[in-house]
Chains A and B, each alone.
Chain A
Amino acid sequence: MRFLPLPSGSVRFIIIATVALIAWLVWGTFNHPEALWAPGNLSRFHTDITDCSDCHQPFRGPTANKCIACHDNKHFAAQSRPAVAKFHQQSISEGKACSDCHTEHRGALAQITVGAMVNPHGEFVFRATGTNSCSACHDLSAGVASQTNLLDNATVKHLMEEGEGAHRPGKIANCLRCHAGGRKDVEEEEDDD
Chain B
Amino acid sequence: MSVITQRFFIVIGCFIAAITGGLLLEMLLSFQAGWPFGHTQTGHIVGWAGLAVILMVFVYSAKKRFGRKAGWPKGWFWVHKIAGVLGPVLILIHAGPHFHALIPILTLLTMVIVVISGVIGVAVHRKAVVLLKDTHSELLSEGLSKDDVEDRLHDLASGEEAFRVWQIIHTPMVMLFLALVIAHILGALYYGGV
A180 in contact (CB, < 8 A): no
B133 in contact (CB, < 8 A): no
A170 in contact (CB, < 8 A): no
Bound CA span A25–B102, Å: 10
- By a beta-carbon cutoff of 8 Å, the part of chain B in contact with chain A is 35-36, 39, 63-65, 67-68, 70, 73, 98, 100-104, 155, 158-159, 164, 167-168, 171-172, 175-176, 179-180, 183, 187, 189-194
**CB nearest neighbor in B for A34:** B101
> With contacts A7-B168, A21-B180 known, is A1 near B35, CB below 8 A?
no
B171 contacts A10, C-beta separation under 8 Å = yes
Which residues of B lie under 8 Å from residue A35 when comparing CB positions? 101-102
A1 contacts B67, C-beta separation under 8 Å = yes
A18 contacts B102, C-beta separation under 8 Å = no
Which residues of A lie under 8 Å from residue B101 when comparing CB positions? 34-39
B191 contacts A37, C-beta separation under 8 Å = yes
Majority secondary structure, A binding face? mixed
Q: Can you list 9 A-B pairs, Cβ within 8 angstroms, ordered by A?
A: A6-B171, A13-B172, A17-B172, A28-B102, A36-B101, A37-B191, A39-B98, A56-B190, A59-B193
Which residues of B lie under 8 Å from residue A169 when comparing CB positions? none
Bound CA span A61–B192, Å: 4
**CB nearest neighbor in A for B174:** A14
Bound CA span A85–B159, Å: 72
Bound CA span A60–B192, Å: 7
Bound CA span A56–B190, Å: 8
A52 in contact (CB, < 8 A): yes
Q: Which of B67, B68, B176, B194 contacts A60 (CB 8 A)?
A: B194
**CB nearest neighbor in A for B67:** A1
Q: Which of A2, A14, A58 contacts B158 (CB 8 A)?
A: A2
> With contacts A3-B65, A35-B101, A39-B39 known, is A10 near B172, CB below 8 A?
yes
A106 in contact (CB, < 8 A): yes
